[in-house]
Amino acid sequence: MITVREAIDIVLNHTNRKAPEKVAIADAVGRVLAEDVISDMDMPPFHRSMMDGYAVRSEDVASAPAALRVVGFIPAGSFPGFSLSAGETAKIMTGAPLPEGADAVREVEKTGPGRDDTEVRILEAVRAGQNVVPAASEVSRGDVVLTSGTYLSPAAISILAATGHTHIKIYSAPRVAVLATGDELVEPSVVPMQGQIRNSNSSSLQAHCRALGLECDLLGIAKDDKMALKQRIQRGLSYDVLLITGGVSMGDLDFVDDVFRELGLRILFQKVAIKPGKPTVFALHENRPVFGLPGNPVSGATVFEVIVRPALRKMMGYPTWQNQIVRARLTSMFRNKSNRENYHPSVTWYEEGRFFCRPLDTRGSGDVASYAHCNSYLICPQDQKEVGKGTEIDVLLRDDYYMT
């Protein structure tokens, strides 16, 4: 049986980012830039006032108070067609260009009325450059402002808009499909009859994909019947990534790996030393990844987080694929009842300079009710049977940790 680390490496070695596509910047947030972006202008394009106040020649106001003659008014959006001579000033608004000759701004709060309308008194001395952003001090025309491979945060979208890039190249998102298997399953809208349960995995995996910014189609429920399964899986093989849940363990009706072989898929592993989630299958169909995830809801979701999500991130072109792991102090003792690396649903929080982690009390890998409250997984090493209260341990934070 391979380790979790080995499984992640095998999966990452067989996934590649998708080709670039051009999109409007409104659709680019959360995605990854697939080209270098160059500024078409200096930023700021002129010496810009940071304040509402008076543009001055600093030599005139090296000591204060100083009376200056007001020779103009410069609102943002205008361009001063005059220059300041000795003893002159112009009223200026935030974001407006300084007139020729001026090299500083005194904010209006630090000025007072002069002897008449044409005069203002500057009440505090001004240094050269004060309250002014010099032209091209942030960006020069022709500068690369974002490099290919950058994650497009809202802040990155801002510089795209500022430099006139309304459409940019990003890495295309993989199209994902989810197929559930199991004779016992009915869709969530149906009231289960005897022996039946609702298919929660499809919704859960689709939600995981959507949270990553990916489209995800649901292909319904396949019966535990080789022919039915084969037909449904075949339909799913046109997607960039196919996720199948259930049918991968040792049961008499677990046919997924048989069907993979019959369809000519190349199976790269079918057991991982992870708890929960041992019966996880990874296969390739014409270099496209196909995952057989365990049917137990917590197992399937955990394997998604630990193994599938890094692969989807890589396909999306993300500069980092790894899950976020922090060290946290356990608030109660944890027992690893397996000889596998144990990812246990937990609640983690930050308090006074360190993370704390509380393992959730669960009834096993089918317990979606307790799982719904987790924001993280404590990671108990394979060879460790027990972790004491107060011990520092690795904790995998879910992507949306900061929202919980």
Binding site for Mg ion (CB under 5 A): 182, 246-247, 295
Two structure tokens written together for 390 = 């107060």
Considering beta carbons, is residue 372 or 403 the nearer one to ligand AMP?
372
Scored b (16 or more CB within 10 A) or e, 74-110 reads beeeeebeeebeeebbbbbbeebbbbebbbbbbbeeb
- Rounded CA gap, 170 and 173, in Å? 9
Nearer to ligand AMP, 171 or 304 (CB): 304
Q: Please tell me the distance from the alpha carbon of residue 127 to that of residue 59, in angstroms, as a whole number.
A: 8
Residue 66 as a binder of ligand AMP (CB under 6 A): the answer is no
User: Rule CB under 6 A: is residue 187 a binding residue for ligand AMP?
Assistant: no
For residue 147, CA distances in Å to 136, 143, 193 come to 19, 11, 56
β-pairing verdict for 392-397 and 266-269: unpaired
Which CB sits closer to Mg ion, 174 or 246? 246
Q: Least Å distance between CB 261 and ligand AMP?
A: 18
The burial of 319, by beta-carbon neighbours within 10 Å (0-12 exposed, 13-18 middle, 19 or more buried), is given as: exposed
Least separation in angstroms between CB 179 and ligand AMP: 9
Q: Identify residues 292-351 at the interface with ligand AMP (CB under 6 A).
A: 294-297
Q: Pick from 35, 184, 217, 399: which binds ligand AMP (CB under 6 A)?
A: 184
Asked if residues 285 and 241 have their Cβ atoms less than 8 Å apart, the reply is no
State yes or no: residue 246 binds ligand AMP (CB under 6 A): yes
Binding piece for ligand AMP, criterion CB under 6 A, among 1-9, 32-40, 149-157, 180-188: 180-188
58 binds ligand AMP (CB under 6 A): no
Q: Which spans in 154-296 are helix H? A: 154-162, 201-211, 226-236, 256-262
Give whole-number Cα distances, 91 to 106, 111, 208, in Å. Answer: 10, 11, 55
Kindly tell me which of 53 and 247 has the beta carbon lying closer to ligand AMP. 247
Give the interface segment with ligand AMP, choosing from 88-96, 108-116, 179-187, 321-329 (CB under 6 A).
179-187
Stretch in the footprint of ligand AMP (CB under 6 A) among 106-114, 115-123, 148-156, 181-189: 181-189
Please, are residues 68 and 60 in contact by the beta-carbon 8 Å criterion? yes
Q: Which H helix or E strand runs over 315?
A: helix 309-315
148 sits near ligand AMP (criterion: CB under 6 A): no
Select 98 or 244, whichever has its Cβ closest to Mg ion: 244
Nearer to ligand AMP, 131 or 199 (CB): 199
Torsion region of 150: left, alpha or beta (phi above 0 gives left; psi -120 to 50 gives alpha): beta
Which of 83, 249, 331, 391 is the binder for ligand AMP (CB under 6 A)? Answer: 249
| Vertex 162 angle, CA 157 and 164, to 5° | 95
Site string for ligand AMP, 256-295 (x = CB under 6 A): --------------------------------------xx
Can you tell me the distance from the alpha carbon of 201 to that of 297, in angstroms, rounded to the nearest whole number?
6
- Which of 26, 76, 161, 197 binds ligand AMP (CB under 6 A)? It is 197
Tell me the window of 32-40, 119-127, 247-255, 312-320 that interacts with ligand AMP (CB under 6 A): 247-255
Q: Are 98 and 49 in contact (CB under 8 A)?
A: yes
**In this complex, which beta carbon is closest to Mg ion, that of residue 255 or of residue 334?**
255
**By beta-carbon distance, which residue lies closest to ligand AMP?**
295
Residue 247 as a binder of ligand AMP (CB under 6 A): the answer is yes
Give the footprint of ligand AMP on this chain (CB under 6 A): 180, 182, 184-185, 197, 199-202, 245-249, 251, 254, 294-297, 366
